[in-house]
Structure 1
Amino acid sequence: MRQWLVWAVLWLLVVLILPDARAGSRHRNQDEERQRGKRWRDGQGYIWTSEGRSKPLKIRLVPGPNGPHTPAGTLTFYRNVPELESSYSVIPGKQTHCVYHGLTMFDLAVWSPLPCVTCLCSEGRVVCDEMTCPTMHCPSPATPPGRCCPVCMEPDSGLSPELSGDSPVPSHPEDHIVPLTQEDIQKIVWREEEEHHEEEERLKRKDEARKKRRRERKEREERQRKMVEEKRREEEEALRLQVEKEEEEWRTKIEEAEERRRQEEESRMNEERRKEEESRMNEERRKEEEEQQKEAKEEVEVWLRGDVFQMPTKEEELLPLLVPTYPTKTEELKEVAPEEEEEEEEGEEGEVGEDEATVVLPAGCDISDVSMTCENVQLVHFPPLNVPELKSLSLEGNNISSIPAGAFNGIPNLEWINLKKNKLTSAGIDPKAFMGLKMLRRLYLDENLLDVVPCDLPSTLQELKINENKLRGIDENSFQDLSSLVILELEGNLLSEGNVDPRAFAPLIQLSYLRLGRNHFRTVPQGLPKSLLELYLENNLIEEISETVFNRTTNLNVVSLRHNKLDETKIAPMAWFNHRTLESIDLSHNDFYLVPSYLPKSLVHLVLVGNKVERIPGYIFAHMDPGLEYLYLSFNRLDGEGIEPESFFGAYHSMMELCLDHNQLIHVPLGISEMTNLHLLRLDSNRIRSISEESICDPEQQGETTLVAIRMENNYIDAMDVSPSAFSCLRSASSVVLKPQKTTQRIHRTRH
């Protein structure tokens, strides 16, 4: 108790001395700081600067150590700093005293009952401030003995000896503790505020730098995105141009192949005619040799009998052969000099001479045995000929515009007449010009100016060609009496279903080959003969195929409808479904989006090149017997989802050639490995990136393989990623074409 009394006296002396000293020091510091332009705090809690008074600090009272029923509390200051710092202001008021743990404290008395806790007697209330340590930004902060917060140990910090730890600090809470002065507290507050402003400026600069980097990164990413997008557009444009170019090349190749096929067909027919002519000539030569041998034998027999006179035979009385022409200024006469033969016989007197025939032809013409050719020699009239044994006559490439009535009287045994590329008109051909030709089998009138079919053609005619003329119609009697006609070609005219009589083809009971391409048909013409085997209607305007159009043509084998306006909805379901002989259909270059359904059961060869096909429906070929063998779907729009697992069902054991090139496939279609009879596979010019081991060759398949060739160039395949067993079913590795491939941006892995 005595010790507490000593302490109370000491505290009373401190309380009496400290306020006056602190007030005087505060006034002196405020005067000095006004001169330096710094801030200071007055006794009412306001902060002063050289410009004036600022907003006061906010004070919150919380219950003190005596509980909520005592006047004591805790004084807490709030400022815009990251951490709170101990500070308080003495508010002058009524002079009174406080009682704290039995001790009487005068007004404005300050004491520290515990470390980091400072109490103040203010108008009869005990207010205690629990200090919170501030964040130190000095290189070596240190906590002095007896203190709870670290301080900076700098020689010029301007702190009092109590802050720097120079003065002794009681080691016991009840020892005498020298409290912080208002000046020290104010300096700490100002320094912390300056450090806070510096920290805010540093954070602001850091945030601005971060925003700048983010903005620059976004701009860089935007530029890269635009560059990638531009490059992608350029690649797509280049790919589109390449596909169009390849499609054009492929179309040209197909047309060239068609032209070659036609030329080969003509060459074959010419070869057959030549062989027939050679056979006929050999037969005639054999007969002549037999006749000569017989005559020689008779002459020997006559000589042995001694007869010296013999009446001339009927053949010897014939006049020399003469072929007259219409000479012009530019024509030259070709003269064959007579040949003289003298035979001398023993026992006979006199000489017998025989003159051979003289033949005069226009320049550039040629005649041999039974054929005569006058092509591209600028004839303007049909030449009057008198060669009864003539079988073949070609006047192609002249300017003949008419054929008179008796033009063929001197050559009645003609079997083949070629009048292509002249200027013949229907009015210029006499109605009875061809009536005397009882042996005529082939008549070619291509590339003239005819607008109707010539009338009264010989009934023996087997082949008639009137392509590239101006035919405006075919009536009921156009082919009257032409029951032997087998081949009829009327391409490149002005024919349509409106000007072709449905009964026009009725007389053609043996017609097998009909070409009506490059006309103006919108539907398949009606009345086609039952005997028809091949029908060609390419390059027309055909939009639909009805159910009845092929009802009579039960023997039809080939139909070509390329370059028309058909799609899968314009073909009647039963148009040709039940045909048992229709094996080949060409629907190239139309408007198909799907492979059409209800195809003929007997179909073997299907061509859909150059359409817009996006999908092959499942089981589309399942009903065919014996099965589809050739499927051409080049230059379409098939992609990874366009071919189903069941698309080729029914053709696994029959398919021989499958062309899916120039599409948009991203992988090898399913079902190809199950095709046991496949010979040729084309997957070039697609978007395929990989080939699995079982996509083409079935590892479980036994026996000899049939696959001969595979083309997969112009894709995105990395040859290093292809497994060697992917093509194990091929007869030879050289049968696989993988180069060149399109370039990509991916990084190729290196195999070690």
Structure 2
Amino acid sequence: MQVTSLVSCLLLVSLCIELSCSETGALLRRQRRRIRSRGLPRGSSAGPGMEPPAPAVASIPLINIDDGVMGVFNSLIGLAGQESSYSILPGKQGHCTANGMILYDKAVWSPKPCVTCLCSKGEVICDTAVCHPLRCPIAILPAGECCPVCSDAASSSDSSIISLDDTSEFSGDVPEPTDLDNANVLPSARTHTEEDELLRTEVVEFKEKESHKKGAKKRKRKGKKHQQKHKAHRRAKRPIARQEPAEEETPYDIHEDDGTFRMPPHFPIPVPPMEAPPLPAGCSTSDTTVSCINAKLTQIPPISDPDLTSLDLTGNSITAISDEAFNGIPNLEWIDLSKNNITSPGIGPRAFKVLKKLKRLYLDGNLLVHVPSELPSTLEEIKINDNHLHAIDEDGLKDLKNLVTLELEGNKLSEANVSPLAFSPLKSLSYLRLGRNKFRIIPQGLPATLEELYLENNQIEEVSEICFNHTRNINVIVLKHNKLEEHRIAPLAWINQENLESIDLSYNKLYHVPSYLPKSLLHLVLIGNQIDRIPGYVFGHMKPGLEYLYLSFNKLTDDGIDPVSFFGAYHSLRELFLDHNELKSIPFGIDEMRKLRFLRLNNNKIRTVPPERICRTQVGDDDVRESSEEEETAESRLEHVHLEHNYINTRQLSPHAFSCIRSYCSVVLKPQKIK
């Protein structure tokens, strides 16, 4: 009975061995094809008639004379039918001898680092590891490695060093949960040499496979995408999988020329954001504005804020502006550097070049001798008042085609040092201030777009016929505090100007109200001259008519004002200032000014106010009485009358003297002078 049971057991064992051999035959043939792909000769593979090797019953340790224990591999039963990465199954024939040891057919070993050998039908075939090329200036060979690496990844303390135990992350081989359950994971048995050989084998196979694809285009993929594409292919080759912690996916690329699998030289390390330096003491910030007024600064503070649009540095001790001063705040739209000590040599030639959005630049109260160069073309307003500018050449204001406002008051400019072509680049200029300089004539070459011109406090002696020939849009001319006389104003200087509405000739040397005034004039300011006469019909050619006439602080007398002196302004004049003159009576024609609202006759020598001189309330029997509507309109016009500081006896005033005025509170009669 025992003999029968023993025979039955032997038969079952024999049957299992035959089944195992037939299953592993196909696996071994695929193993031989993979070895060929690593560069082994075709003749080294086993012939078709060779018997399949016998199955191993237990794990077999391979001894490497040079490197010690090479690894421990699972038996076929332990592998659950999966193919091993190295064929080490002992055969019945074709044994090999290496260093005095007998190795079975299909055995694989490593006699020295980076070299792998195969026993094939008694012949030893060895293969050296293939390293992919590196694209870095310096490469080093780390200890225990077969292939060099870039120097920036060589330090063992650097987090960018790639461990061979983590090759699954780059090869895209992430085992399925079923693989982890069925495989016997032996992390302690696999050496670094084996892991390196596995990685090199996969790189060579991938390279040869990709080299057969014609017209392959360069592309970058994430490890996850590569994992999904090659998961099944990798899982069939590697029976042992390591489950590593999840790490950040690393990008890689495939070279379009040779298909080489390129590893990045190092992992990208995020750079922490640089914290901007704190503002100096005395500075404050609000939204998009930084204000450092009177903060005792000697240089422009290092500010880095792309959102900043306004910077106020008024009242400091800044002497220079470097080329890099505004690099951290390129989106500034407004800069105020007034009341500093900035000099022209202290401004870098490209100091303002980076400011592509700058619209307003204030440099008042500095020590500049010329306009800064290379100013942004986006500027719309420039103020360089109260400096030491002594010249503007034809290129001094170049490229400022968007400039609308230019202020250069309080400098040393004159017609001798300002080029006639200096203002020609200013295609949009409408507001020009050149007061407190040394001009003797109106500057030449004024832009055609000019609307307002301010030349007060100069030494201008004449206004020629050609001064405003090209400024057809000019609206305001201010020439106060100069040396003008009425006969030095050319008859055709401005009479044909159609848009000129305001002229200020205060504090000059005028003796009469100038003739040939512009037809469109609405405001005429003649304060502080020596005018003693208003010629008749001097305002008669104006349309729609003069509205504001200021003749204060002159030498007007009763004889200097004719009954027709205000002809042409009766139906348009709104304000009339005749104070601080030498008038002894109310001038004729005021009662006919239907739109007059403000009348100043204070500080004269007036002694009485006849009823008909200001308000027309009585008419003759033969005259046609004005309609009640006109009377009501006349009463509602005049709002303020100043008659103080005269010689008027208020007790002798007629009750009808101010009947057309809406309220007696609007009439100022006190105080009066004593006889």
Query: 1 or 2 for the larger relative contact order (CA 8 Å, sep ≥6)?
Result: 2
Q: 1:629 aligns with which of 516, 539, 547?
A: 547
Q: Deviations over 1:696-748 (max 9, x none)?
A: 0112552323100100000010011110101111011111000111111xxxx
8 Å contact from structure 2 (residues 279, 303) kept in 1: no
Secondary structure of 1:595 counterpart: coil
Q: Is residue 588 from structure 1 mapped to residue 506 from structure 2 by the alignment?
A: yes
8 Å contact from structure 1 (residues 322, 386) kept in 2: no
Secondary structure of 2:613 counterpart: coil
Q: 2:275 aligns with which of 322, 330, 333?
A: 322
Match of 1:703 in 2: 632
When Rg is computed on C-alpha atoms for both structures, the one with the higher figure is 1
Q: 1:717 aligns with which of 648, 663, 673?
A: 648
User: What is the correspondence of 1:608-623 to structure 2 with a 5 Å cutoff?
Assistant: 608-623=526-541
Q: Deviations over 1:647-698 (max 9, x none)?
A: 0000000000000000000100000000000000000000001111100011
In 2: Cα distance, 1:592 partner to 1:319 partner:
73
Q: What amino acid does structure 1 have at the position aligned with 2:469?
A: N
Secondary structure of 1:673 counterpart: helix
In 2: Cα distance, 1:449 partner to 1:611 partner:
35
Q: Give the deviation of 1:318 after TM superposition.
A: 7.9
Cα separation, partners in 2 of 1:381 and 1:671, compared to 1, 3 Å: same
In 2: Cα distance, 1:476 partner to 1:742 partner:
59
Cα separation, partners in 2 of 1:476 and 1:690, compared to 1, 3 Å: same
Cα separation, partners in 2 of 1:736 and 1:404, compared to 1, 3 Å: same
Secondary structure of 1:641 counterpart: helix
Match of 1:657 in 2: 575
Q: Give the deviation of 1:507 after TM superposition.
A: 0.6
User: What is the correspondence of 1:214-253 to structure 2 with a 5 Å cutoff?
Assistant: none
In 2: Cα distance, 1:444 partner to 1:323 partner:
26
Q: 1:526 aligns with which of 424, 444, 455?
A: 444
Match of 2:395 in 1: 477
Cα separation, partners in 2 of 1:645 and 1:388, compared to 1, 3 Å: same
Q: Give the deviation of 1:368 after TM superposition.
A: 2.7
In 2: Cα distance, 1:422 partner to 1:714 partner:
47
Q: Give the deviation of 1:310 after TM superposition.
A: 11
User: Please, what is the CA RMSD of the aligned residues?
Assistant: 1.7
Q: What amino acid does structure 1 have at the position aligned with 2:673?
A: K
Q: What amino acid does structure 1 have at the position aligned with 2:670?
A: K
In 1: Cα distance, 2:648 partner to 2:328 partner:
72
Match of 1:497 in 2: 415
In 1: Cα distance, 2:489 partner to 2:274 partner:
62
8 Å contact from structure 2 (residues 280, 301) kept in 1: no
Match of 1:100 in 2: none
In 2: Cα distance, 1:691 partner to 1:596 partner:
29
Match of 2:674 in 1: 743
8 Å contact from structure 1 (residues 468, 493) kept in 2: yes
Match of 2:661 in 1: 730
Q: Is residue 671 from structure 1 mapped to residue 589 from structure 2 by the alignment?
A: yes
Q: Is residue 430 from structure 1 mapped to residue 430 from structure 2 by the alignment?
A: no
8 Å contact from structure 2 (residues 314, 339) kept in 1: yes
Q: Give the deviation of 1:367 after TM superposition.
A: 1.9
In 1: Cα distance, 2:565 partner to 2:638 partner:
20
In 2: Cα distance, 1:407 partner to 1:483 partner:
25
Q: Please, what TM-score do these two structures have when normalized by structure 1?
A: 0.52
Secondary structure of 1:695 counterpart: helix
Secondary structure of 2:406 counterpart: strand
Name the structure with the higher helix share. 1
Match of 2:516 in 1: 598
In 2: Cα distance, 1:613 partner to 1:628 partner:
18
Q: Give the deviation of 1:381 after TM superposition.
A: 1.7
Match of 1:563 in 2: 481
Q: Please, what TM-score do these two structures have when normalized by structure 2?
A: 0.58
Match of 2:139 in 1: none
8 Å contact from structure 2 (residues 294, 316) kept in 1: yes
Q: What amino acid does structure 2 have at the position aligned with 1:703?
A: E
Secondary structure of 1:488 counterpart: strand
In 2: Cα distance, 1:612 partner to 1:630 partner:
19
In 2: Cα distance, 1:396 partner to 1:388 partner:
21
Secondary structure of 1:397 counterpart: coil
In 1: Cα distance, 2:334 partner to 2:271 partner:
27
Secondary structure of 1:703 counterpart: helix
Q: What amino acid does structure 2 have at the position aligned with 1:392?
A: S
Match of 1:464 in 2: 382
In 1: Cα distance, 2:585 partner to 2:667 partner:
17
Q: What amino acid does structure 2 have at the position aligned with 1:636?
A: N
Deviates more, 1:666-675 or 1:703-712: 703-712
Q: Give the deviation of 1:456 after TM superposition.
A: 0.5
In 2: Cα distance, 1:400 partner to 1:568 partner:
47
In 2: Cα distance, 1:698 partner to 1:318 partner:
88
In 2: Cα distance, 1:686 partner to 1:376 partner:
48
Q: Deviations over 1:9-62 (max 9, x none)?
A: xxxxxxxxxxxxxxxxxxxxxxxxxxxxxxxxxxxxxxxxxxxxxxxxxxxxxx
Runs of 4+ in 1 over 4 A off after TM superposition: 308-311, 317-321
Q: What amino acid does structure 2 have at the position aligned with 1:735?
A: S
Q: Deviations over 1:96-145 (max 9, x none)?
A: xxxxxxxxxxxxxxxxxxxxxxxxxxxxxxxxxxxxxxxxxxxxxxxxxx
Secondary structure of 2:453 counterpart: strand
In 1: Cα distance, 2:421 partner to 2:554 partner:
39
In 2: Cα distance, 1:310 partner to 1:417 partner:
47
Secondary structure of 2:672 counterpart: coil
Q: Give the deviation of 1:370 after TM superposition.
A: 1.4
Q: Give the deviation of 1:323 after TM superposition.
A: 2.9
In 1: Cα distance, 2:570 partner to 2:455 partner:
31
Match of 2:357 in 1: 439
Q: What amino acid does structure 2 have at the position aligned with 1:687?
A: K
In 1: Cα distance, 2:271 partner to 2:353 partner:
27
For structure 1, the 5+ residue unaligned runs are: 1-307, 312-316, 325-359, 745-752
In 2: Cα distance, 1:625 partner to 1:391 partner:
46
In 2: Cα distance, 1:481 partner to 1:381 partner:
28
Secondary structure of 2:549 counterpart: strand
In 2: Cα distance, 1:375 partner to 1:663 partner:
46
In 2: Cα distance, 1:408 partner to 1:740 partner:
61
Secondary structure of 2:632 counterpart: coil
Match of 1:686 in 2: 604
Q: 1:387 aligns with which of 293, 305, 313?
A: 305
Q: 1:512 aligns with which of 406, 430, 436?
A: 430
Q: What amino acid does structure 1 have at the position aligned with 2:345?
A: A
User: What is the correspondence of 1:232-381 to structure 2 with a 5 Å cutoff?
Assistant: 319-320=272-273, 322-324=275-277, 360-381=278-299
In 1: Cα distance, 2:428 partner to 2:248 partner:
53
Cα separation, partners in 2 of 1:321 and 1:562, compared to 1, 3 Å: farther
Match of 1:415 in 2: 333
Cα separation, partners in 2 of 1:430 and 1:721, compared to 1, 3 Å: same
